[in-house]
Amino acid sequence: VGDTSGFLAAIFKRGIPYIQIPTTLLAQVDAAIGGKTGVDVKEAKNLLGSFYHPRLVLIDPLLLKTLNKAQMLSAIAEVIKYAAIKDKHLFKYLEDNFAKILQKDLPSLEFVILRCAKIKARIVSQDEREKKGIRTLLNFGHTIGHALEAASGYAGYSHGEAVALGMLVAADLSHKYRLISQEKVFRLAQLIKNYGLPTLIKGITLEKIIQAMPYDKKFQGEKTRFVLLKDIGCACLKNNVPYSLIKEALAKRISKK
């Protein structure tokens, strides 16, 4: 709704002011902020769109009281993403308060939403059009995540579940590059597990996932570009990640059962 109405506001009479009032956790921490608006057409997601910022984003966490668990969880994956790439204090808060957050405790939600909204706003104000490799960091977990969604025919995993698994594969890759310790990969896996998100890929073969990968927007030509972690709360871009390494990391996360 936010993407479509934002796009309509952008093109109606060549642009009218509008306000975003997001009612899902995902929209409150992500979609309503950053000015990306658009509609999906049958050929591709977000094929028609524009950058068009709202005058105001009005967030009320009380709205989330009626949001179902699946929608909450899908957004939690993006919340974990923000913490992993930019905010080690938020990461610790998510570790310490998962029960409260899952119960939709209002002060906890307020804390988390404000923190995430600030991170997204800061990143977007530094690199609105994704030209400096800063906004790209928001794609942590999405390279493999998008491949998982596509490989399962957009029916197997929700976006959040796919992103959770994608973050773990990216963390495993980060460890292979000796950027982060095994212990930190384990912390991420434990956090994802505590929120009830998956940590193992089930029902999709390695080949299918790899086949689905080159279509990711971050694959510029033959180059395989990944967002990796240097630490909890600190991410970087890595170009030319070889397929052999991606396959090794994926294999580790594919359930043997």
Ligand X SMILES: NC(=O)c1ccc[n+]([C@@H]2O[C@H](COP(=O)([O-])OP(=O)(O)OC[C@H]3O[C@@H](n4cnc5c(N)ncnc54)[C@H](O)[C@@H]3O)[C@@H](O)[C@H]2O)c1
Residues at the interface with ligand X (CB under 6 A): 1, 3, 23-24, 26-27, 30-31, 34, 36, 63, 66-67, 71
Q: What share of the chain is helix, strand, coil (3-state, %, to 5)?
A: 55, 10, 30
> Closest distance between ligand X and the C-beta of residue 66, in Å?
4
List 86, 146, 184, 187, catalytic entry: 146
- Residues in contact with 50: Cβ distance below 8 Å, sequence separation at least 6, in sequence order: 7, 10, 11, 37, 38
For residue 13, which amino acid is it?
Answer: K
Q: Which of 167, 123, 121 is nearest to 145 (CA)?
A: 167
Instruction: Verify whether residue 194 is a known catalytic residue.
Output: no
Instruction: Verify whether residue 176 is a known catalytic residue.
Output: no
Q: Which of 156, 35, 30, 33 is nearest to 85 (CA)?
A: 30
> Closest distance between ligand X and the C-beta of residue 175, in Å?
28
User: Could you tell me the CA-to-CA distances from 248 to 175, 185, 243 in Å, in that order?
Assistant: 12, 15, 9
Instruction: Verify whether residue 139 is a known catalytic residue.
Output: yes
Instruction: Verify whether residue 78 is a known catalytic residue.
Output: yes
Instruction: Verify whether residue 55 is a known catalytic residue.
Output: no
Instruction: Verify whether residue 217 is a known catalytic residue.
Output: no
Instruction: Verify whether residue 53 is a known catalytic residue.
Output: no
Give the strand pairing for 36-41 and 19-20: unpaired
- Residues in contact with 111: Cβ distance below 8 Å, sequence separation at least 6, in sequence order: 93
> Closest distance between ligand X and the C-beta of residue 27, in Å?
4
Which residues on neighbouring strands pair with residue 36, listed in sequence order? 51
> Closest distance between ligand X and the C-beta of residue 190, in Å?
25
List 46, 128, 130, 238, catalytic entry: 130
List 53, 81, 115, 139, catalytic entry: 139
CB 133 within 8 A of CB 127: yes
**Residue whose CB is less far from ligand X, 140 or 224:** 140
Which residues on neighbouring strands pair with residue 41, listed in sequence order? 44
Instruction: Verify whether residue 135 is a known catalytic residue.
Output: yes
List 53, 120, 184, 253, catalytic entry: 120
List 53, 81, 115, 142, catalytic entry: 142
> Closest distance between ligand X and the C-beta of residue 240, in Å?
27
List the catalytic residues: 14, 36, 78, 120, 130, 135, 139, 142, 146, 159
